[in-house]
Structure 1
Amino acid sequence: MSQRGRRRAGACVATLVAGLLISAGTQATAPRQAARDDAGPEVAVGAYLHYGSPGVTRMRELSRWLGGTDLRAGHTYLPGDTWSNIEGAPASLRSWARWRNARADRLFVLNVPMLERNEAGLPDEQIAGLLHAGARGEYDHHFRRLAERLVALRLADTVIVLGWEMNGFQYSHRCRPAPERWKEYWRRIVAAMRSVEGQRFSFDFAPNRGPDAIAWTKCYPGDDVVDIIGMDTYDQAPGNSFEEMVTQPYGLQRQVDFARERGKPISYPEWGLFRNGDNPEYMRSMLAWIAEHQPLYHSITDYCPHGVWQCSQNPRSARVFREFLSGGQDHGGRSAALRP
């Protein structure tokens, strides 16, 4: 979803429910993830609420609204307009650092663009040239600077969602214009950030769900430079039903299988409602999928039209979401919100 859309997050009046699933355990964990106990690490639950400092305040408000539900995943984005912002210039990073460092078990998730003018509508030919320059190392210093800033803020274990939705048409950091150069460039960025003393970053490869401009498997840069296999998935085509979202080429099941083959955890950095309006059946299905497959973390996009707390237009989905998050369990251990 666009940076401009994310900055509209504060425009929707908060009137209804929101939050995310709390569940436990995962088969494959990121190398730097702390274990909760012998049963496995707890899924980190979060929501995208605002790109800047207000997102931190809203995390507290959302948790209180949900009766104390523990939101452990803080999620925000670096603007992709200028290199200085990609280097971590936004002052809001300090607010997120205070939130992260208040508790050892929290997870800070940061979407990082790979190119400036990331939403400028650049043509494929120009993007291919920029990716080639990146693959040669011309932009390494920007990412070293970002890594240095994160380490200085005690955000050395940040989850970096690098070049998200790279298989689509929207962003300048898209993969299709030059897939091989894109992969080389990803590897350069990871090497540059990992070269900074004290870092413990995890890198999350998060394409759009389904077939898009290019199969996301053609953009995968290698197991040694990816720690998490993510996916952004909204209630929209391709896929007219949740079952089709699972079984379609490069859909949810392919993500799970691809990660399992590589011993990687999965994540859902962005998910929510979209093209089909207030859709409680989608909510039930997505929550059930998350409960079954136990991602490392997941984060609903909570502004209109995607959300359920900062957006009043999805009341039925909001009720499902709130009931599930409030923890009403039946005797089989399943949330009442997920029962047919």
Structure 2
Amino acid sequence: MSRRRRRLVGACAGTLAAGILATGGGLTAAPRELSDRGGGREIAVGAYLHYGSPGVERMRDLSRWLRGTELRAGHTYLPGDTWSNIEGAPDSLRTWARWRTARADRLFVLNVPMQANNEAHLSDGRVAELIRAGARGERDHHFRRLAERLVALGVPDTVIVLGWEMNGFDYTHRCRPDPEGWKTYWRRVVAAMRAVEGQRFRFDFAPNRGADAIAWTRCYPGDDVVDIVGMDSYDQPPGETFEEQVSQPYGLRQQVEFARAHGKRISYPEWGLFRGGDNPAYMRAMLTWIAEHRPLYHSITDYCPHGVWQCTENPRSARVFRDFLSAEHDRGARRRPSTASGLLTPP
């Protein structure tokens, strides 16, 4: 969420990445596949581990920690600092593309900012001006260039999480300063990317859970330009309990019902722990919700304070996550119970 600290794509990327390496390294193994087969719809399990190539490398280790569970959703972000980065300049996209094309059943999930200087905390007036420039088509060429790069890299079926958390207060690509203009801008971006030959992109509309700065339904740009209705949901208010996070206005239940009414799959591009600290009850409830409602994919934000593998602050929640998603659990045969002391070492 925008009022948390931001992920590893800004000026502090190097410092945070170093911290992640210190807490998450040391495991090696080859993953084995786990499909969540119940209900006839597979759920692609993912985790945000790092925005660059180290994120790909760590997926094998996290799979090993999960006793062989295959991570089928590879999730990363394009930096929102410059238009050249939004166009897909980071060389790490090649690494992600190689990971995606190695198996036909994988998903590459890419968060794409809609504005440069996306964390500059600009005024509503300035944001409204930028939204209207985008709605006039002045940014189309940047997104066309991104689409061309993704197709050339062999990932024309990338899931594009465009303008995520648009209902929040902070991002330059937020919706509230001009909702109608924002929707027009989204539609132009999608049209520009879909115009590139060979593309098969799916566009994921992923607000924050809850009302936040504006009801996210006011930002919804239309069924013809949205393929997935996502939601970023952390263990924090609004919603002191998981039940409240489900039932609150614009919460988890409304997301599911809205998606069903519009004929869309759901997703959870970002979720994890936060204000409630190491909260195994939340972890169990969220994983159960995911299993019951069968999103296309989900991706836990796996660094402190949100995560369970690269972050050592949440050992009880880590145990729940590991047991719930491990390949042994899927087979119904947990041969070794998890212990807090063994959470960051191979079984």
- Superposed displacement of residue 329, structure 1: 6.3
Matches of 2:200 and 2:262 in 1, distance apart? 20
**CA displacement at 1:9 relative to structure 2:** 4.6
Partner of 1:270: 270
Q: Deviations over 1:97-139 (max 9, x none)?
A: 0000101110000000000000001100000000000000000
> SS state of the match for residue 186, structure 1?
helix
Are the aligned partners of 1:242 and 1:282 in contact in 2 as well (CA < 8 Å)?
Answer: yes
Q: Do the aligned partners of 1:143 and 1:193 also contact (CA within 8 Å) in 2?
A: yes
* Per-residue deviation, 1:328: 2.7
The aligned residue for residue 85 of structure 1 is 85
Identity of aligned residues (%): 75
What corresponds to 2:212 in structure 1? Answer: 212
Give me the whole-angstrom Cα distance separating, in 1, the residues matched to 2:26 and 2:266: 29
Secondary structure of the structure 2 residue equivalent to 1:84: helix
Determine the structure 1 residue equivalent to 2:342: none
TM-score norm. by structure 1 comes to 0.90
* Residue type at the aligned position of 1:255: Q
1:11 maps to: 19
Question: What is the correspondence of 1:1-340 to structure 2 with a 5 Å cutoff?
Answer: 1=1, 4-6=6-8, 7=13, 8-12=16-20, 13-14=23-24, 23-24=36-37, 39=40, 41-326=41-326, 327-328=328-329
Deviations 1:66-118 (CA, angstroms, capped at 9, x unpaired): 22111000000000000000000000000000000101110000000000000
Task: Please tell me whether the aligned partners of residues 65 and 322 of structure 2 are also in contact (alpha carbons under 8 angstroms).
Answer: no
Q: Is the 8 A contact 2:210 2:251 kept in 1?
A: yes
Give the aligned residue type for 1:23. Answer: D
SS of 1:125 mapped into structure 2: helix
By how many angstroms is 1:24 displaced?
A: 2.8
2: CA distance, partners of 1:124 / 1:158: 31
Gap change, CA 1:198 and 1:281, over 3 Å in 2: same
Q: Which amino acid aligns with 2:325?
A: L
Aligned to 1:35: none
SS of residue matched to 1:98: helix
User: How many angstroms does 1:10 deviate by?
Assistant: 4.5
SS at match of 1:181: helix
Q: 1:99 to 1:312 in 2, by over 3 A?
A: same
AA at the equivalent of 2:75: H
- The residue type paired with residue 295 of structure 1 is P
Distance 1:329 1:204 in 2: 28
Corresponding residue SS for 1:298: strand
Using the alignment, how far apart are the partners of 2:96 and 2:25 within structure 1?
Answer: 25
Q: CA deviation at 1:64?
A: 1.6
The Cα shift of 1:22 comes to 5.4
Give the SS at the match of 1:328. helix
Unaligned ranges ≥5, structure 2: 339-347
Distance 1:16 1:329, change over 3 A: farther
The number of residues matched between the two structures is: 318
Q: 1:164 to 1:16 in 2, by over 3 A?
A: farther
Residue in 2 aligned with 1:36?
Answer: none
CA shift at 1:187, angstroms?
A: 0.1
Question: Does structure 1 retain, via aligned residues, the 8 Å contact 2:206–2:269?
Answer: yes
Q: TM-score, normalised by structure 2?
A: 0.88
Aligned equivalents of 1:157, 1:259: Cα separation in 2: 21
Q: Which amino acid aligns with 1:105?
A: D
Distance 1:16 1:230 in 2: 33
Alpha-carbon distance, 1:5 to partner: 3.2
Q: Larger RCO: Structure 1 or Structure 2 (Cα < 8 Å, ≥ 6 residues apart)?
A: 1
Consecutive unaligned residues of structure 1, counting only runs of 5 or more, are 27-38
Counterpart Cα distance in 2 of 1:184 and 1:4: 27
**1:204-258 alpha-carbon deviations (Å, 9 max, x no partner):** 0000001100000000000000000000000000000000000000000000000
> C-alpha separation between the residues in 2 aligned to 1:15 and 1:233?
27
State the alpha-carbon separation in 2 of the partners of residues 170 and 25 from structure 1.
Answer: 38
| 1:34 aligned partner | none
State the AA in 1 paired with 2:102. A
**TM-align CA RMSD:** 2.1
Query: Secondary structure at the residue paired with 2:24?
Result: coil
Answer yes or no: is the 8 Å Cα contact 2:167–2:214 preserved in 1.
yes
CA distance in 2, matches of 1:10, 1:301: 16
CA shift for structure 1 position 263 = 1.0
Residue 152 of structure 1 and its aligned partner are, at CA, apart by 0.1
